[in-house]
Amino acid sequence: METIKLRKKLIKQFEVILKDEAKLHALEGLLDALNSGQGLSNVPNAHYDLIHETRKEYLNKDCEGKSWEDVKQSLIVKYGL
């Protein structure tokens, strides 16, 4: 999207956000996070690396996945849900 179109789109979105106090606070938190350099995620990169590695193994058939029913049943047994 070219800069002028993007700028106009964002101005319209900000006009809506500025009218809603909850959205305004959420925007403030987002801008604070961006300006502080902490990013938007509190999840360590090591967790993302583990997920990517596990997914790669699954796609290469190096490990087996479980059906949703199996996962649900193991959670019920483990946590008494």
Number of domains in the chain: 2
What does the pLDDT read at residue 46? 92
Q: Are residues 7 and 29 in the same domain?
A: yes
Measured CA to CA, the distance from residue 53 to residue 65 in angstroms comes to 14
What does the pLDDT read at residue 1? 65
- Does residue 50 carry a pLDDT above 90? yes
Q: Are residues 52 and 29 in the same domain?
A: no
Domain that holds residue 9: 3-36
The alpha helices in the chain, defined as continuous H runs, are 3-17, 21-36, 45-59, 68-79
- How many CA atoms lie within 13 Å of 23's alpha carbon, on the beta-carbon side? 8
What average pLDDT score do residues 5-33 get?
90
What does the pLDDT read at residue 42? 77
What average pLDDT score do residues 51-64 get?
87
Task: Estimate the crossing angle of helix 21-36 against helix 3-17, to 10 degrees.
Answer: 130
Measured CA to CA, the distance from residue 35 to residue 27 in angstroms comes to 12
